[in-house]
Amino acid sequence: MESAAGGGGGGFRASEHQHSRYNPLRDEWVLVSAHRVKRPWQGQLEKPPPEDVPRWDPKNPLCPGATRANGEVNPHYEGTFVFPNDFPALQPDAPEPDDSGHPLFQAAAARGVCKVMCFHPHSDLTLPLMSLLEIRAVIDAWAELEAELGASYPWVQIFENKGAMMGCSNPHPHCQVWASSFLPNEARLEERTQRQHHSQHGVPMLLEYAEQEAQRKERLVVENEDWLVVVPYWATWPFQTLLLPRRHVLRLRDLCDSERDSLASIMRRLLIKYDNLFQVSFPYSMGWHGAPTGPHLQEDCGHWQLHAHYYPPLLRSATVRKFMVGYEMLAQAQRDLTPEQAAERLRALPEVHYKLRPQETVCGAAQA
């Protein structure tokens, strides 16, 4: 594990000595200071997520049969449910901004569509507690929305904010899908770095990266025949992960049936480990990145590789999170344990959810 940061000699140990790692996907560096995790914590403590979410609440606007803010009544849905966001950040008919007349004050048109997708009719079920068939239905709905909105919009961002700590305003299991008339910053950055790598090396960056991580295994969390999940070599958040296909895939719509089934399986395995880490409904922001759509469907996007980012904030416990402030905001990202240490902890966790294990087993694990 100590070879993770490369050579250097002189008694260097990645788990003890600070060093920087390069993120080729974002063309930036992250400072790794694993020794800092030993420092005492007297800062803010977060409130753990509630464990008593009601299965159905008539006042919850995401529940079947509930009335939303705009007065519409949800159908009594039994699977996934997609509807237009009642408070969209993007609308399809926004006017063009005026020209400021100076290059330091540029504005551009921003149009799009925002949708909400409920994963399940029950508010007390999250993805790791859903069945494989139910998760597969979510994946199919993601692919359908990507294809539908991507027919005209160049970028379709599917993302889930899980937990109040990550800004989620409703505990009901759901995600959002924003389609935009422009490539957002993260998409433009990944477009540039992946295109550059492909031009220089003749292979998609993340396809090569997945092959390397599958061989090295020190940052591997879970894997199956079609997918693998790693804590990236350049991870910024403590237990950040990257979900990658083993074959070259551009977009969600390109996944075959067996790959969608194995994706449902590996997602559930990962998310169960997340919940088991601190025996809490683990907060995170996650999202899919794939090749641009709309007018880009006619272009060669072979440098792209489909992938999902998971960014969880928790560091030491269910109540202590990582803050991206100070040095992180003004200089560069910094992390307090190595990606190899994070992967080892996640890898060692059971794949049976703590809520579904015998009570004495759960208590014993918590005391250990």
DSSP annotation string for 142-169: HHHHHHHHHTT-SEEEEEEEESGGGT-S
Contact 339, 285 (CB under 8 A): no
Read off the pLDDT band of 165 (50, 70, 90).
Answer: low
pLDDT of residue 1: 43
Read off the pLDDT band of 2 (50, 70, 90).
Answer: very low
* Residue 160 annotated as part of some ligand binding site: no
**Please, what is the angle between helix 257-278 and helix 339-347, to 10°?**
100
Q: Which of 27-31, 81-85, 288-292, 327-331 has the lowest mean pLDDT?
A: 327-331
Distance CA 7, CA 87 (A): 52
Distance CA 54, CA 15 (A): 43
* Residue 328 annotated as part of some ligand binding site: yes
pLDDT of residue 41: 44
Q: Which of 81-85, 330-334, 348-352, 362-366 has the lowest mean pLDDT?
A: 362-366
CA-nearest of 280, 182, 194 to 244 is 194
Mean pLDDT, to the nearest integer, of 228-255? 97
**Is it the case that residue 191 has pLDDT exceeding 50?**
yes
Mean pLDDT, to the nearest integer, of 145-162? 97
* Residue 169 annotated as part of some ligand binding site: yes
Distance CA 166, CA 293 (A): 28
Distance CA 330, CA 359 (A): 46
* Residue 38 annotated as part of some ligand binding site: yes
* Residue 365 annotated as part of some ligand binding site: no
* Residue 334 annotated as part of some ligand binding site: yes
Read off the pLDDT band of 42 (50, 70, 90).
Answer: very low
**Is it the case that residue 251 has pLDDT exceeding 50?**
yes
Q: Which residue has the tokens 């609440």?
A: 57
As to burial, measured by CB atoms within 10 angstroms (0-12 exposed, 13-18 middle, 19+ buried), residue 167 is exposed
Mean pLDDT, to the nearest integer, of 119-128? 95
Residue 283 is classified by DSSP as: -
* Residue 307 annotated as part of some ligand binding site: yes
Distance CA 220, CA 215 (A): 9
Mean pLDDT, to the nearest integer, of 152-166? 87
3-class SS of residue 21 = strand
Read off the pLDDT band of 196 (50, 70, 90).
Answer: very high
Stated pTM of the model: 0.91
Largest CA distance in the chain: 69
Residue 209 is classified by DSSP as: H
Residue type, 336: D
Distance CA 307, CA 318 (A): 27
Read off the pLDDT band of 116 (50, 70, 90).
Answer: very high
3-class SS of residue 150 = helix
How many helical (H) and strand (E) elements, i.e. helices and strands, does the chain have?
Answer: 7, 14
Tell me how far the alpha carbon of residue 252 is from its chain's centroid.
Answer: 15
Read off the pLDDT band of 236 (50, 70, 90).
Answer: very high
Q: For 13, what's the count of Cα atoms within 13 Å in the CB-facing half-sphere?
A: 7
Active-site residue 174, yes or no?
yes
Mean pLDDT, to the nearest integer, of 338-351? 96
Catalytic residue among 122, 172, 174, 303: 174
Mean pLDDT, to the nearest integer, of 162-176? 79
